Amino acid sequence: MKNKHITLIGAPSSAGAYGPGQEKAPQALRAAGLIELLEAHNIRVSDQGDVAGFRWKVDREHPRGMNAGIVAGVANAVAEKVQASFHEYEKILVIGGDCTVELGVIAGCLHRSENIGLVYIDLDTDLNTPHSVEDGAFDWMGVAHLLNIEGTEKKLASLGKRIPMLHPAQVHFFANGNMTGFEKAVIHQHNIAETPVREVEADPAGTAGKICNGWARSFDHLLIHLDVDVLDYVDMPLAENYRRNQGLKFDQLMLALGEFLKTPNWRVLTITEINPDHGENDGSTLRMFSERLAKVLGKAFNAPD
């Protein structure tokens, strides 16, 4: 890659989550040395700072869809920063926050091109709606709102320049394995592409490479959404979700991510659901994550053209 610049945007919000914690991630990763680590791999970082954040709180007036207005506000702020950054730099790294940050990323990218593809790396598919589940957490409803699935919150589904923001053919679920019956029906009804977690575990680089060499090449820009909930919490205890002995090992995830980052048309990497209060008390878990992320990005940026 000739251009070794990356824009960093922080989205410190847990408005759509089950509880607080994820809003601390952007500053925690900076404190863990992420920027310096990226620069050590010859990547020049333009840190655009954080959008106005929000710490989760109970929204008793809207129990099945909590904090929708705040989720929308954060997403709009992310969209503005992403849209502006498209005109200046080659690649963008967005650090959340919860998964609803991706709504803003997509909304911002749509101002540049509608021909975008989204690789959604997550054990969950986030295809629920306030009508299909009762817990009210929008962070496992994000993709449903991108696709404008029936029953979604209109103020979130209409954040972009078009409705739906994405069509089913623009989404590929990668390493998914935890789905409600409603989500399974949506995937079947809309024929959404997926590479289940068991397949990824067996061949992380191979499964990612197959997507990069086929489906991903049909888009002007490839966007990568990484929810660290895809990780086995025992192997890498960083996510807001405590699922143990389920999901990818850290090494498996990084092997797959490395393949996606080799794709010339990738444009935005969004990382969500890190809770800095998890992991080792001395910060070594966050440091390990940052070191490996910087190494993978560095390898991609410094690969021969």
pLDDT of residue 88: 65
Q: Say if residue 304's pLDDT is above 80.
A: no
Q: Which domain holds residue 115?
A: 5-301
Query: What's the CATH code of the domain at 25?
Result: 3.40.800.10
233-239: long-range contacts (C-beta < 8 A, 24 or more apart)?
236/279, 236/285, 236/289, 237/278, 237/279, 237/285, 238/274, 238/275, 238/276, 238/278, 238/279, 238/285, 238/286, 238/289, 239/273, 239/274, 239/275, 239/278
Predicted local confidence at residue 302, as pLDDT: 81
End-to-end alpha carbon distance in the chain: 6
Number of other CB atoms surrounding residue 181 within 10 Å: 8
Nearest to 252 by CA among 186, 213, 195, 184: 195
* pLDDT averaged over every residue in the chain: 95
The share of the chain scoring above pLDDT 70, in percent, equals: 98
Give mean pLDDT, residues 280-299. Answer: 96
Asked whether residue 212 carries a pLDDT value surpassing 50, the answer given is yes
| Helix (H) or strand (E) run with residue 144 in it | helix 142-146
Using one digit for the tens of pLDDT, what is the confidence trace for 83-103? 999 876 689 999 999 999 999
pLDDT in tens, 23-36: 999 999 999 999 99
Residue 146 amino acid letter = L
The pLDDT assigned to 243 comes to: 87
Mean pLDDT within 218-223:
96
Q: Distance between CA 68 and CA 48 in Å, rounded?
A: 25
- Of 78-82, 242-246, 251-255, which gets the smallest average pLDDT? 242-246
Q: How many domains does the chain have?
A: 1
Q: What is the pLDDT of residue 1?
A: 47
pLDDT (tens digit, 9 = 90+) per residue, 128-184? 999 999 999 999 999 999 999 999 999 999 999 999 999 999 999 999 999 999 999
Q: Provide the 10 A C-beta neighbour count for residue 12.
A: 22
Mean pLDDT is lowest, of 1-5, 44-48, 175-179, for 1-5
